[in-house]
Amino acid sequence: MVQAEWPPISSSGEVSFRDTEWPLCRPADGLVSVALLEQGLVLSHAAVPRADAVIHHKKLTACGISCMITRMGYRDRGYGAMVFKAAGKFMETSGADLGIFTCDQALRHFYERAGWHAALDIYLVGGTKEKPFSSAEMGKLTLLRFFTDRAEEARADFTAGPMFLELGEGKLW
């Protein structure tokens, strides 16, 4: 995870990394970053990745949350909630059918307060077909939100067990 030192953003929009890098988030990944800045300093950040998901032969577009963090010293001020809600709004208006991601069990209520639902019997399998990476093995909780009628129609297909998203080696939302 990111150390206490976050990269400040200059007035030209360039990121200046000081002794750290963004965790698992690289521009080449095609992620959309949602961030709260104060005088060029990133206070809270969430990345929104996107991938196709096939649920019982139905192709849906899924977005997730990755790299969600608030800078030490700025926590418990509602900044993380603001960024998370903005990321959810972006997903909803981006054409994604659903949002799905994993988190630590202790964060369940934080995400549920923002309108997401814990899918207690579903776990994500990311990575690649050759090297799958399971959230169940890490004790993570899966959260879901349906944005479109297509996703709502497929809701019954979200049953207990794995949901596969080919995200790249070692990657999981």
Residue 13 lies in a domain: no
Residue 19 lies in a domain: no
Secondary-structure percent of the chain, ordered helix, strand, coil, rounded to 5: 20, 35, 45
Apex CA 77: angle with CA 72 and CA 81, to 5°?
95
Q: Which amino acid is at 103?
A: C
User: Is residue 158's pLDDT more than 90?
Assistant: no
Mean per-residue pLDDT of the chain = 84
Residue 15 lies in a domain: no
- Print the domain residue range for 137: 27-164
Residue 4 lies in a domain: no
User: Is residue 99's pLDDT more than 80?
Assistant: yes
Give the CA distances from residue 138 to residues 11, 102, 142, 170, in Å, rounded to whole numbers and listed in that order. Answer: 40, 10, 11, 13
CA distance 60 to 29: 20
Residue 108 lies in a domain: yes
| Burial degree of 107 (CB within 10 A; 0-12, 13-18, 19+) | middle
Residue 11 phi/psi, 5-degree rounding, is -65, -20
Residue 38 lies in a domain: yes
Domain tally, the chain:
1
CA distance 142 to 62: 13
Residue 35 lies in a domain: yes
Quick one: which H or E segment has residue 79? Answer: helix 79-93
Residue 18 lies in a domain: no
User: Is residue 148's pLDDT more than 60?
Assistant: yes
pLDDT in tens, 12-70: 544 443 433 444 455 556 689 999 999 989 999 999 999 988 887 888 999 999 989 99
CATH number at residue 114: 3.40.630.30
Residues 123/139, Cβ–Cβ less than 8 Å: no
Task: Please tell me the least confidently modeled range out of 17-31, 33-47, 86-100, 103-117.
Answer: 17-31
